[in-house]
A and B are shown apart, each in its own frame.
Chain A
């Protein structure tokens, strides 16, 4: 296990590059940093430009661009090779909760606590569609479906909605879990030939819905507090990972048929709250859990770490704590 250090304030989001060789992290210190996965070292220059906390990140499928959503209400598109800001999209009137790239990289979606989901043309930077639900509930996370036809949106009215972004209509609403306070996130998954949606709940369970019938197909519990994020392993293995406010990351495997049972691996080591996205490396069975320290008051001080050779990596920045923000503040 390796700790990546360099941010001056809490880290709210991380993202894997498509080739799994780099990790991007967005922080409350308003910067985005890129890291070598293999060495754990940061790339020299951080991405500077946001005026407020960076809250969400997404790599383009080719890995040449990065979209970032921030509390400054804008979405930035970055040229990663030059580490240059390509475009700034005047996206929302509230902090941007989530961003995502479509599978062919032509569209970016963003969502915000102002209740809007916007779809952007990545090439021209123009807004192509805005989706809004009548109730205008704050949208905390939005992501494209695996085939790019729909957008899955997590809202603070305890609903997850599947939108057809071309027509702007809601196709499915998934309910049953509780989500009124935190920015929860979930993912699409595949078992056999069927797709499911997995998401955490503030009651501590993980819920699984069938995409077509909207039925809850399974409900598993393991976390002690709200389950902040659930992510699935690419492919059809049905493996997923979850992280909760109880500072644990749990890996779930498909035991028999559709049964997701028993957390078989618990990763702890975070005394603080973790908001996180679990993830699995593309290449082969190696499971890597992407953990984000929620950064609620914790900072670089705690992150003295050891690099590959077991030597202590010198802390590059002053170890001063910049106050993090509680998720409740954002979503309140």
Chain B
């Protein structure tokens, strides 16, 4: 409801300008906003999932259950459930009402990416390392796993046997690297290591359409909020955007699907490759973090031009995400594990502080009103003023704000925990005395049996003592 008071020039700006802060809790490797945009889930190297409150920039919840690095995160539509996949070969569905694990599903191989069904928080699709992707239905405690094909659909079969054999051999090498649901949840879009894009119907689990989109591995797929557009990051250093056909149309004929690349974004000069891509809130912009480089690139999709290169901390960034309705980008620093934020800081309007003053561009000649210094009796002014107050006032009806997600009456709201006791224990800095802090050693807290060890020899102790004398 602050929009009516915010400077329209600030609102017109729809991509971020500069770094505005950072978040830190351990070494984060992946981030994801919920649909409302008030919470940011981050996965850490140690397997902990930390949920930040975007409004306060504080930790709202910590979810502990994974033992290895968190690989991907996916929110349910109502924001109550969170799906995480980790390098411990497991996927967990968390219930944020109390922070418990609702379901835990173990796989035979490491998981690349797991994505929740848009409407069913107990169904998700996973792409696995050197294995067929799976649709997992966790409605029962014992999750049902269903195979999805990786091989592309061939439109025509080769006539002679040798050619067909060759094709089959090629198809056998295909493996799905990334898979996600469409907006309706009726189809799965998947990318393979040979650069194919498959559209798989969920009900029959067959590929209804395939196209070779690029030569290298498809690294990542992401849809806009509306589900009409898709961005693809591939190994060939090109980011492609695609307008998806309406796959849930009743009269859909798979043979007439035609997928064309809308834009190709690349850095021809530096030949940069891209670590991660994301759409802006409306899908109007595409942002990407760069490999071996510190910058975050932003392209706009109307003309397909580069609009901004965000500079920030001198660090390569991994996962980058755009806030679901604000011009705000977050990215994970690869080295520090810190989450950096870019957004817009509006200027304080001075006229807001002094209502009698107005900001003017240049000097304005003041024109005195005819009755400006007329003297009226106090009561008359008062009465006239009161008589003017005849407007019809409604203090109850809430006007819906355009473009905002309607806050349903019974929508989920994560309980605020006022006693997050464990948040202190994981701080990197420990107090050693009054006002003195020291950085916690990375192995502290993880007992590998080293704690009880005595210093190995006498000269080791001397080495330790030396720098002290130098510093003096």
> Does any Cβ of A come within 8 Å of B389's Cβ?
yes
> Does any Cβ of A come within 8 Å of B55's Cβ?
yes
> Does any Cβ of A come within 8 Å of B415's Cβ?
yes
Q: Are B58 and A82 in contact (CB under 8 A)?
A: yes
Q: Are B60 and A148 in contact (CB under 8 A)?
A: no
Most buried by B among A22, A149, A168: A149
Q: Are A148 and B398 in contact (CB under 8 A)?
A: yes
Majority-rule SS of A interface residues: loop
Q: How many residues of B contact A (CB 8 A)?
A: 43
Stretch of B1-9, B105-113, B150-158, B450-458 that contacts chain A: B1-9
Q: Are A81 and B56 in contact (CB under 8 A)?
A: yes
Choose from B1, B345, B397 the contact partner of A102 (Cβ within 8 Å).
B1
Residues of B within 8 A of A60 (CB): 55
> Does any Cβ of B come within 8 Å of A147's Cβ?
yes
Residue of A nearest to B398 (CB): A147
> Does any Cβ of B come within 8 Å of A322's Cβ?
no
- Min CB–CB distance A240 → chain B (angstroms): 16
| Bound form: Cα–Cα A34–B416 in Å | 13
> Does any Cβ of B come within 8 Å of A103's Cβ?
yes
> Does any Cβ of B come within 8 Å of A123's Cβ?
yes
Choose from B1, B394, B413, B418 the contact partner of A62 (Cβ within 8 Å).
B413
Q: Are A173 and B2 in contact (CB under 8 A)?
A: no
Q: Are A81 and B386 in contact (CB under 8 A)?
A: no
Residue of B nearest to A121 (CB): B2
Choose from B2, B53, B354, B399 the contact partner of A128 (Cβ within 8 Å).
B2
Residue of A nearest to B348 (CB): A126
Q: Are A149 and B59 in contact (CB under 8 A)?
A: no
Known: A107-B2, A121-B6, A149-B395. A81 touches B389 (CB 8 A): no
| Bound form: Cα–Cα A105–B391 in Å | 27
Q: Are A171 and B393 in contact (CB under 8 A)?
A: yes
Residue of B nearest to A152 (CB): B395
Residues of B within 8 A of A330 (CB): none
Residue of B nearest to A193 (CB): B396
Q: Are B416 and A104 in contact (CB under 8 A)?
A: no
Q: Are A123 and B55 in contact (CB under 8 A)?
A: yes
Stretch of A129-137, A243-251, A287-295, A304-312 that contacts chain B: A129-137
> Does any Cβ of B come within 8 Å of A150's Cβ?
yes
Residues of A within 8 A of B399 (CB): 147, 149
Q: Are A212 and B392 in contact (CB under 8 A)?
A: yes
Q: Are B355 and A106 in contact (CB under 8 A)?
A: no
Q: Are A107 and B1 in contact (CB under 8 A)?
A: yes
Number of contacts between A and B (CB, 8 Å)?
133
Convert A4-18 into 0s and 1s, putting 1 for each residue whose CB lies closer than 8 angstroms to a CB of B: 000000000000010
Q: Are B60 and A64 in contact (CB under 8 A)?
A: yes
Residues of B within 8 A of A65 (CB): 55-56
- Min CB–CB distance A288 → chain B (angstroms): 19
Choose from B6, B38, B345, B396 the contact partner of A146 (Cβ within 8 Å).
B396
| Bound form: Cα–Cα A171–B389 in Å | 5
> Does any Cβ of A come within 8 Å of B352's Cβ?
yes
Q: Are B393 and A126 in contact (CB under 8 A)?
A: no
Residues in A249-290 with C-beta less than 8 Å from chain B: none
Most buried by B among A82, A190, A193: A82
Q: Are B58 and A84 in contact (CB under 8 A)?
A: yes
Choose from A44, A104, A145 the contact partner of B395 (Cβ within 8 Å).
A145
Q: Are A172 and B396 in contact (CB under 8 A)?
A: no
> Does any Cβ of B come within 8 Å of A216's Cβ?
no
Q: Are B355 and A130 in contact (CB under 8 A)?
A: yes
Residues in B320-365 with C-beta less than 8 Å from chain A: 345-346, 348-349, 352-356
> Does any Cβ of A come within 8 Å of B423's Cβ?
yes
Q: Are B389 and A127 in contact (CB under 8 A)?
A: no
Q: Are B1 and A106 in contact (CB under 8 A)?
A: yes
Q: Which residues of B are in contact with A by a Cβ distance under 8 Å?
A: 1-2, 4-6, 38, 53, 55-60, 345-346, 348-349, 352-356, 385-386, 389, 391-399, 407, 413, 415-420, 423
- What are 26 A-B pairs at a CB distance below 8 A? A34-B418, A43-B419, A62-B38, A63-B416, A64-B56, A64-B58, A79-B57, A81-B53, A81-B417, A81-B420, A82-B59, A82-B423, A103-B1, A103-B398, A122-B55, A128-B352, A129-B355, A145-B396, A170-B385, A170-B389, A171-B389, A188-B395, A190-B396, A193-B396, A195-B396, A211-B395
Q: Given known contacts A127-B352, A171-B393, what 20 new A-B pairs fall within 8 Å (CB)?
A: A34-B418, A43-B419, A44-B419, A60-B55, A64-B416, A79-B56, A81-B56, A82-B59, A106-B2, A107-B1, A121-B2, A121-B6, A122-B55, A127-B348, A128-B6, A146-B396, A147-B399, A162-B395, A166-B4, A211-B395
